[in-house]
Structure 1
Amino acid sequence: MRLKKWFGTTTTAVLVSSLMLAGCGGNTKTGGNEGSSGTDTQSAAPAAKEIVTLKAYFPGDKPTGFDAVLQAVNDKLKADNVGAALNINFLPWSDYGNAVSVKMSAGEDFDMYLDAPWLSMNQMIEGNSLMELDAAVAERPELKASIPEEMWEYNKFGGKIMGIPLGTTQGQLYGLLIRKDLREKYGLPELKTLDDLEKFLYTVKEKEKDVKPFVINGIKADKLPFVLSESANLALDEVLEIGVNMFAYSIKDKKVTGQWASPMIADGYERVTKYYKDGIISKNIAQEQNAETLFKQGKYAATYYAADGVEGLKYSEMLQDGSDKLEIFIPNGDKAKPYTAFQQWNFLCIPASSKHADLALDVANWMSIKENHDLMEYGIQGKDWEPVGDSSYKVLSSYSFPGYVLTWRPTLNRTPDTMMKDDKKWFDFSTNPANFTLSPTAGFNFNAEKVKTEYAKITPLHDSTFLPLSQGLVPAEEGKKMMDKKMESLGGQKVIDEIQAQIDAVTSGK
C-alpha cells in the first residue's frame, strides 16, 4: 500500500512500535544559522540568544516518556544557542487533518506540522497557506545533505519545495518472507526464481500437515501480481506504481493504463488465480487481517515482505531463540533496479502565517545532525537506547517517537539490533537512490480536482473488484473484463484522460 493513508490505526501502531530510525551522520556540533563563533579561543563567545518557543502539531498519541525527552531536546537547543524551544502537540489521527485545517483557517499562530498529499497539502498550497522552502533549504547545509537530492527534486509542488520530504526508503522492493527451516528440511535450494518459490510452496502443501503455504492480509493483496511476476523488481516496459491506485503507465505507448490490463504482470495475475485455486493462497484471503500473527504462530510457511523497514521487523521476535529459521526471497534480487519516482508521502510544513519560519527551519537543520537527531528519534542515550556500532541501536525503554512526522532522514538511518540480517540487507538497499531507476513519471503528483466526481465513483472499485482479482478470488480473465466494464460505466475514462494529461505535462519537459 503506497502511502496514501499510510498511517491508519493499525499501521501507525506498527510504525510507532517498530520504526525507530535515528541518525548516524554529520559532524557539526550545533545547528541553526547562528553563524560562526570563530576559532580564536580568546574571542568572546556569542551572546546567548533569546529563546522563542515554536509550536508544532503532529498526529497520533504522545509517546511514552516524551516529556522527559522533549525537555532534554529543549535543553540541548538552549546549550547549542539555536534560540528555540519546542512545544509539540499530538492530535488524534481520527481528526488530525480536519483539526489542522481549522487551526489554519482560524489564523492560529503555530510554526510547523505534518501534512501530505493525502491530507490537505494540495489545498493548502492552492490557498497560499504554506511557506516556499527552496531558499531556506539551500541556506541550511545539514538539512539539505541529510536528504538525497532526488528526494528534494522529485517531491516539489509546482516546481517548488513546499515541505521537507520525510522518508527513509527511495522506492518499492517486494518479496516474500519464508521459513528457511522448512526449505532446508526438504532439501530445497535457496530460492532464486519464481519456479523455486513455487516448488517450495507446493512442497509445503504436500508434505506439511500443520503448516499451510502462504498467508497475506487481504488489503495488501493488490501487490501479489507484482511479486509473482517474472518482471518483479525490474524496470521494464511499464511503471506499475504512479501514485494513483489501480493505474500504471506504459513506457512504450506513453499511455496510462489499468494495472489489471498490464501485459507486464499478466503472468502474475495468472499465478494468483492458480495459487488460489490450488490452495496455495489462503482461502480466507479476502477477510484475512491476522497474517502476521498466523505466520508467527508457525501456521504458514511464507508471507508478504517489503523492504521498507517495517514488514521485516514484525517478525524479529521469531529469532529470539537464536535460530536462523527465516529468510527473505526477493524476485530478481540479483538484478533488481525497479522504477521509482522518489516520491514521499509525508512532509514537514511551515505555515505561511508563522512568525518564526526561519527559526523553525533552523530547528529542522539542527535536527539533521546526528546527536540531535538521535536524541529526538530514540530518546535519552543510556536510558531509552544505546548505540550498536555506527548504524544500529538497542532499545532500553518503551520510548518510540514517530519519525515520519519530523525526523526521518535517509542518510541518518539506524536499524534495530534485532533486525534480521536479510531484512537489513534489503532495507539498506532500498535507502540508496543508486539502486533504483528514475521513473519517467517522476515529478507527477495526481490532482483529482477536475475529475473529483468520477474519481470518487471509481475509488470503491479497488475494494469491490480490483482486490478480489488480485487475491485470486476472481479468475484473471474474468476479473479483468469486470474491471474494464465497471471502469467504463463509472466514468473511469475521464479519470484516465486527466491522469494522462498531467503525466504528459510532466514528461513533455524531459
Structure 2
Amino acid sequence: MERNPPQASISIVISSLGMTFPAGMDENDNRYLNYIREQTGIDIQVTTPPAEVYDEKLDVIMSSGSLPDMLHAYEPVWFGNYAKQGAFMPLDDLINTYGPNLKKKIPDRIWDRVRYGGKIYAVPSLNEVSGIELMYVRKDWLDRLEMKPPQTLEEYTEVIRAFTRRDPDRNGEDDTIGLPLTVNLGRSSPIFGAFGTQLDTWFDVDGRLVNGSIMPQTKQALGYLAELYREGLLDREFPLNLQNNLYEKIESGRVGLFSATWYDTRGPIAASKLKDPKAEWIALEYLAGPQGQKGVYGTNEIRGYNVIPAGSEHAADVIRMLDFIVSDYRNLKLGFENEIWRMENGVMVTDFQQHDEHLYRGMYQSLVDVPDPELFKNRLDSLGDFHLYDNLERIREHVMKDAFYGIPTPSMSKYDKKLDELQGVFTSIILGVEPLDAFDHFVAQWKQYGGDEITKEVNAWYAAQRDKPAEEF
C-alpha cells in the first residue's frame, strides 16, 4: 500500500553509473525508485544518457527547448559555466522550505562551494573517500626474490627492475611487467607524490597558488618515468591501457606491483588470488622521494551537482525528492534490511547475491551522498576481508589536498580543454618521443593559452578566502 499516492511529477536526468537491472526492471521501474515514489508522493521520470557521452548529452539537453526539472552533473567546470550564464535556478529559499535534511547533513563549507554571486545553484553530492590510489605488491614475488617491501624511490626502482628482469613468476618467460600505468598517466599519482607534486592540483607556494602540472617537481617526476621506460621497466602499452587492460594483466599474473584503487582488492587483486592461490598481495608504504616527500592526489569533496534549470515549475518537488534521499540513507545506500543485509551479534552481514543484484539503487542514492563514517566502515567490513576501510585510512593519511576548492573561475571554463590537450606532451616525454626539456615549452604554452589568467583568478579567490566569513542560509 502506498504511503503517499503520487501527485506531483518531475523529470530528472541522471547517470546510470554503468548499472544493470534485474530482469523485468529498468531505470523507471524498479523497487528502489518505486520506494522513493511511494514515500514522497512524487512521480519521478528518469532519463539516463549513455555513460560514455554523458557530459556531451548534458550540453545537448541544456541547449534544447525541452528541459527536465533536474540534471545531475559531475564536472565542476560544466556546473560553473552554466551557473554563470544564469541557466540554473537559485535554490536558497527552496532548500530553506523543503530541504531540512539537506541543510542538516551537508556542511556549511560545502554549500559555499556551490554558490555563485551569493546564491546557491546546486544541491551537492559528497565524496565519502578522500583519495583513490595506494601501492600494492605481490609479497610472494618479493619473498621469492629475497627482497623487502620497498619504501624509498630507490627501493621501489629496484623492485620494479627485479619484477621485470628476474622472472618473479618462475615460468621461464620474459612476460612480467615492472610497473603498469594507464592512458593519460592514470595510476601514476604516488610517483608524482614522491616528487612533491600532483597533476592538476593547486599548491600553496610561498603564499600563492601554483598549479602542480607546471611545477619543476613535475618535470623531475616525468624524467624518472622516462628513465623507467627507456630501461624497459614501464609497461610498453601504458599509453593505450584502459582499466580493463590493466585488470587483465593483474589477473593473469603479469603484474606484481601497481598503484591500486582502494577497491581493487575486491576486484583484480581478488581475481588474481582466485586464479593463483599462491598470490599474496599487501599494501605498501607510499614511495618517499628525494626530499622524503610522498602522497597521492585527493578527491574533490563534491562528487556531483544536482541543478534545476531556470524556469522549472516543479523545483519544490525536486528538493523534496533530494531531501528524502538524504534522509533515508540506510535503505538506499545499503539496501533493504533483512534482505540485502542484516545485523548478527552487532556485526553487519551482507547477502552478496542480493547486494550485487540490486546495486542499481546507487543511481538514486548517490544523487545526494553524505559521509557517515560509522555506517561506511560497517558496510565496507561487511563486504568481506578486502581491507577496504584500511586502504582508505592509509590513503587519507597521505592525501595532498588541492588548495583551490571554489566554484570554477571564468577562465577555467574558457581554457580547460586546451590546457588538457597541451598536457598530452607528458606521455610523449615518457616515451622518449620528446626530450625532457619539452616540459619547459609546455609550461610556456600553458601560461600563454590561459594558464596565467586562471592562476590570477585562483589567487584572487585564495586571497579573498583568508578573511571571508562563512556564508549561511
TM-score bracket for this pair, using the shorter chain length: 0.7 to 0.9
Deviation at 1:298, TM superposition (A): 0.1
Q: Is residue 421 of structure 2 the alignment partner of residue 466 of structure 1? A: no
Q: How many Å separate the matches in 2 of 1:496 and 1:483?
A: 15
TM-score normalized by structure 2? 0.75
> 2:389 — aligned with what?
424
State which of 239, 244, 251 in structure 2 corresponds to 1:296: 251
> 1:54 — aligned with what?
10
Classify 1:346/1:314 alpha carbon distance in 2 versus 1 (closer, same or farther; 3 Å): farther
State which of 271, 275, 285 in structure 1 corresponds to 2:238: 285
Retained in 2: the 8 A contact 1:151–1:342? no
> 1:485 — aligned with what?
441
State which of 12, 16, 21 in structure 2 corresponds to 1:64: 21
Retained in 2: the 8 A contact 1:386–1:395? no
Retained in 1: the 8 A contact 2:191–2:287? no
Q: Cα deviations across residues 288-339 of structure 1 (Å, max 9, x unaligned)?
A: 34122011100121222234x4686343333447766112224169997767
Q: Is residue 415 of structure 2 the alignment partner of residue 415 of structure 1? A: no
**What one-letter code is carried by the residue in structure 1 that aligns with 2:233?**
I
Q: Is residue 153 of structure 2 the alignment partner of residue 194 of structure 1? A: yes
Q: How many Å separate the matches in 2 of 1:360 and 1:230?
A: 41
Structure 1 SS opposite 2:43: strand
**What does 1:12-411 align with in structure 2 at a 5 Å threshold?**
51-60=7-16, 63-65=20-22, 66-67=25-26, 70-73=29-32, 75-77=34-36, 80=39, 82-93=40-51, 96-97=54-55, 99-108=57-66, 110-117=68-75, 120-137=78-95, 140-147=99-106, 150-172=109-131, 174-208=133-167, 209-210=172-173, 212-221=176-185, 224=188, 226-229=189-192, 231=194, 240-242=199-201, 248-249=202-203, 251-252=205-206, 254=208, 256=210, 259=213, 261-289=214-242, 290-307=245-262, 309=263, 313-320=267-274, 325-331=280-286, 340=298, 342-369=300-327, 372-377=328-333, 385-387=340-342, 389-390=347-348, 394-396=352-354, 397-401=356-360, 402-403=362-363, 406-411=367-372
Structure 2 SS opposite 1:55: strand
Q: How many Å separate the matches in 1 of 2:134 and 2:72?
A: 30
State how many pairs are aligned: 438
Classify 1:417/1:190 alpha carbon distance in 2 versus 1 (closer, same or farther; 3 Å): farther
Classify 1:123/1:445 alpha carbon distance in 2 versus 1 (closer, same or farther; 3 Å): closer
Retained in 1: the 8 A contact 2:70–2:308? yes
Q: How many Å separate the matches in 2 of 1:159 and 1:459?
A: 30
Q: How many Å separate the matches in 2 of 1:421 and 1:311?
A: 5
> Could you list the runs of 5+ residues in structure 1 that have no partner in the other structure?
1-46, 243-247
Retained in 2: the 8 A contact 1:107–1:353? no
Q: How many Å separate the matches in 2 of 1:332 and 1:456?
A: 31
Structure 2 SS opposite 1:421: coil
Deviation at 1:493, TM superposition (A): 1.9
**What one-letter code is carried by the residue in structure 2 that aligns with 1:200?**
V
Q: Which moved more, 1:159-168 or 1:326-335?
A: 326-335
Structure 2 SS opposite 1:212: coil
Deviation at 1:177, TM superposition (A): 2.4
Deviation at 1:505, TM superposition (A): 1.7
Q: How many Å separate the matches in 2 of 1:217 and 1:443?
A: 30
Q: Which moved more, 1:285-294 or 1:261-270?
A: 261-270
Classify 1:274/1:312 alpha carbon distance in 2 versus 1 (closer, same or farther; 3 Å): farther
Q: How many Å separate the matches in 2 of 1:267 and 1:189?
A: 26
- The percentage of aligned residue pairs carrying the same residue is 14
Structure with the larger helix share: 2
Q: How many Å separate the matches in 1 of 2:383 and 2:453?
A: 46
Aligned-residue CA RMSD (Å):
4.1
Q: Is residue 445 of structure 2 the alignment partner of residue 445 of structure 1? A: no
**What one-letter code is carried by the residue in structure 1 that aligns with 2:386?**
K
Retained in 1: the 8 A contact 2:91–2:119? yes
Q: How many Å separate the matches in 2 of 1:451 and 1:103?
A: 20
**What one-letter code is carried by the residue in structure 2 that aligns with 1:64?**
F
Retained in 2: the 8 A contact 1:458–1:487? no
Q: Is residue 465 of structure 2 the alignment partner of residue 501 of structure 1? A: no
Retained in 1: the 8 A contact 2:151–2:284? yes
Retained in 2: the 8 A contact 1:58–1:114? yes
Q: Which moved more, 1:290-299 or 1:333-342?
A: 333-342
Retained in 1: the 8 A contact 2:128–2:370? no
Retained in 2: the 8 A contact 1:468–1:474? yes
Structure 2 SS opposite 1:214: coil
TM-score normalized by structure 1? 0.71
Q: How many Å separate the matches in 2 of 1:474 and 1:134?
A: 53
Retained in 1: the 8 A contact 2:250–2:256? yes
Deviation at 1:128, TM superposition (A): 2.0
Q: How many Å separate the matches in 2 of 1:269 and 1:219?
A: 15
Q: How many Å separate the matches in 1 of 2:421 and 2:33?
A: 46
Q: How many Å separate the matches in 1 of 2:299 and 2:181?
A: 26
Retained in 2: the 8 A contact 1:218–1:286? yes
Structure 2 SS opposite 1:300: coil
Q: How many Å separate the matches in 2 of 1:365 and 1:138?
A: 11
Retained in 1: the 8 A contact 2:125–2:366? yes
Deviation at 1:507, TM superposition (A): 0.9
Q: How many Å separate the matches in 2 of 1:202 and 1:180?
A: 15
Retained in 2: the 8 A contact 1:393–1:416? no
**What one-letter code is carried by the residue in structure 2 that aligns with 1:285?**
F
> Could you list the runs of 5+ residues in structure 2 that have no partner in the other structure?
467-473
**What one-letter code is carried by the residue in structure 1 that aligns with 2:380?**
T
Classify 1:212/1:49 alpha carbon distance in 2 versus 1 (closer, same or farther; 3 Å): closer
Deviation at 1:100, TM superposition (A): 4.2
Structure 2 SS opposite 1:63: coil
Q: How many Å separate the matches in 2 of 1:158 and 1:171?
A: 28
Structure 2 SS opposite 1:365: helix
